[in-house]
Homo-oligomer: A and B are copies of this chain.
Amino acid sequence: MTAMSDGEEIVFDQPCPIRDVLDRIGNQWSLLILEALSPGTLRFNALMREIGDISRQMLSRTLKQLEQDGFITRTLYPEVPPRVEYTLTELGHSFLAPMQQLITWADSHHRDIVVARRRYATDRK
């Protein structure tokens, strides 16, 4: 029974909020999930299909974190089969702006990065 050791969160008052926030949203899954939810509410399996290559466990875990941090809400409809909907909160929405900047940057500089990689590879030869 070592699983689910989630509850324990260390709350040393981070002198650096950037670190604290980056630790949570500074991974591809969080960003991809938030992006996937930006058009609107999605269910668990819909999210999984949308993202494509995320495992159920990571999706579940990351959603839980995002909910915990107030980025999304989780609504369970006690039907059968169960229906669970994930939706961005206001906080989540407010995060979309800087994230979109990042995505825009990525989009417009992706080419440069590919070129840089290619040159690095050939220079090494």
Contacts and interface: CB of A to CB of B under 8 A. Distances in A.
Interface of A: 7, 9, 14, 17-24, 26-28, 31-32, 35, 67-70, 91, 94-95, 97-99, 101-107, 109-110, 112-113, 115-117, 120-121, 124
A98 B94 CA distance: 15
Contacts of A7: 121, 124
A116 B69 contact: yes
7 contacts: A17-B110, A20-B106, A21-B113, A70-B113, A91-B112, A94-B105, A101-B101
Nearest to A29: B26
B103 A18 contact: yes
A71 to B, nearest CB: 8
A68 B109 contact: no
A47 to B, nearest CB: 16
Contact of A120 (B27, B31, B67, B112): B67
B116 A105 contact: no
A81 to B, nearest CB: 25
Contact of A68 (B19, B22, B116): B116
Contacts of A109: 21, 91, 94-95
